[in-house]
Chains A and B, each alone.
Chain A
Amino acid sequence: EAQVTQNPRYLITVTGKKLTVTCSQNMNHEYMSWYRQDPGLGLRQIYYSMNVEVTDKGDVPEGYKVSRKEKRNFPLILESPSPNQTSLYFCASSWAFNQPQHFGDGTRLSIL
């Protein structure tokens, strides 16, 4: 089954404790991206990657890091999480940047 898998689905943690949200896709997609979803703001892109070792900032990259060492994986790293990063996060992938995206089921992060 074609899918984008995120882990964990839920996480409650404390300010400053580094965390990583993993994202893996099994569709051999080249393009991957991370979004955060906040009430009243829709989804905002954090980072995107056009291929292995190629990443770039989206609209809200502050406080986040990403890496793309393999085509299928695109982890989101919060080096020092803060409460304003409490949000619902989605990973997405597509064949190319101008093709429809497939979204994962989301990761709900709570930073206390």
Chain B
Amino acid sequence: QQQVKQSPQSLIVQKGGISIINCAYENTAFDYFPWYQQFPGKGPALLIAIRPDVSEKKEGRFTISFNKSAKQFSLHIMDSQPGDSATYFCAATAMGSARQLTFGSGTQLTVLP
């Protein structure tokens, strides 16, 4: 069964700190790795995504690091803000697969003011 394992389940960070969420996958056919951000009462929204031909992608305070040989990828949130408090899901898919996304179990991030 295709799986994406995500950790930690919850994370508490002080304002200005760095939040790090890790994911590991098993299926070597996966070739697209997005991160979704979900606020209470809302659906997930695409935050940032990476393909395995690069090891890092940065968009503002958000960075994905990708390690193809270890089959791991992580989300780093620099200078974390209280407004970043949300649930974060990593996901993976094979771009040729119509089944689309396999999600991790989610990380509830709380950034303390």
Contact = CB atoms under 8 A, between A and B. Distances in A.
Contact of B41 (A31, A33, A50, A105): A105
A42 B43 contact: no
Interface size class of B (residues with CB under 8 A): 20 to 34
Contacts of B34: 100
Contacts of A73: none
Interface in A66-112: 90, 92, 97-98, 100-101, 103-106
Contacts of A31: 100
A55 B40 CA distance: 30
Nearest to B94: A98
B65 interface: no
Interface of B: 4, 6, 9, 32, 34, 41-46, 49, 89, 93, 95-106
